[in-house]
Amino acid sequence: MQHKTLGRRPGSPATREAILGAARKAFGAAGFERATIREIAQRAKVDPALVLHYFGSKDGLFSAAMALPIDPQQFAARILADGIEGAGVRLAHAFLALWEEPRLAGQVRGILRAAVSHESAAASLRAFIEGQVVGSVAGYLGEDARLRAELAGSHLVGLAFARYILRAEPLASAPLDEIVALVGPALQGYFSGAAQGGPQ
């Protein structure tokens, strides 16, 4: 008999989310190493020990804060629902939209930052990409589809890095639509299998 309802209610709703929000902001802005538990706790207006009470360790906090907010299965389905043509543009648009969303910006930035500096985070992202992302799109393509899908993905990751982390000009300030119009055909080339030129 688990009298789970005894005592004070667990999982206070507000503070836990406040900690996660502060963690996403800190990890996204400073990366895993430079973000400190003390700073995150201060932003969330709680004691540092409370952070570890909830998440066990700094790694645990990171994993909880950086859990991917999207379902790749669904993501891929939406991109490819209307057929293979135009998929490049739709993919570029949908991917960049993730980074433009203020609520998600810190999260995705933190994931990328951590994947670069932290081996366990890299392993996690690697497994996610190999198992979920590439698998979701491989069914729609042919022979060397997995390689092609990863090449398209690598372009998107590099694009996000240059625009949102490095902030190199003129890429960082270019309007979204202009980028989508240029990147879309390049991605389409990987899907269609044909060498692709610029926009006609």
Binding site for DNA (CB under 7 A): 3-12, 15-16, 35-39, 45-50, 52-53, 57-59
Q: Distance between CA atoms of 85 and 178, rounded to whole angstroms?
A: 19
Of 15 and 196, the one with the shorter C-beta distance to DNA is 15
**Are 37 and 61 in contact, with CB atoms under 8 Å apart?**
yes
The answer to whether residue 43 forms part of the interface with its own copies (CB under 8 A) is no
CA atoms within 13 A on the CB side of 13: 0
Token pair recorded at residue 65: 């804060």
| Min dist. Cβ of residue 196 to DNA (A) | 45
Neighbouring C-beta atoms of residue 53, cutoff 10 Å: 10
Q: Which does 36 bind (CB under 5 to 8 A by kind): its own copies, DNA, none?
A: DNA
Q: Kindly determine how many residues on this chain lie close enough to bind its own copies according to the rule CB under 8 A.
A: 54
Q: Which does 94 bind (CB under 5 to 8 A by kind): its own copies, DNA, none?
A: none
| Min dist. Cβ of residue 58 to DNA (A) | 4
Fill in the per-residue mask, 166 to 185: x = in contact with its own copies (CB under 8 A), - = not in contact. xxxxxx--x---xx--xx-x
The answer to whether residue 122 forms part of the interface with its own copies (CB under 8 A) is yes
| Min dist. Cβ of residue 63 to DNA (A) | 12
Of 57 and 154, the one with the shorter C-beta distance to DNA is 57
The answer to whether residue 49 forms part of the interface with its own copies (CB under 8 A) is no
Q: At what angle do helices 48-55 and 13-34 cross, to 10 degrees?
A: 100
Q: Distance between CA atoms of 48 and 143, rounded to whole angstroms?
A: 52
User: What are the start-end ranges of the H helices in the chain?
Assistant: 13-34, 37-43, 48-55, 58-65, 72-80, 87-100, 102-117, 119-128, 134-138, 145-160, 176-192
Q: Which does 148 bind (CB under 5 to 8 A by kind): its own copies, DNA, none?
A: its own copies
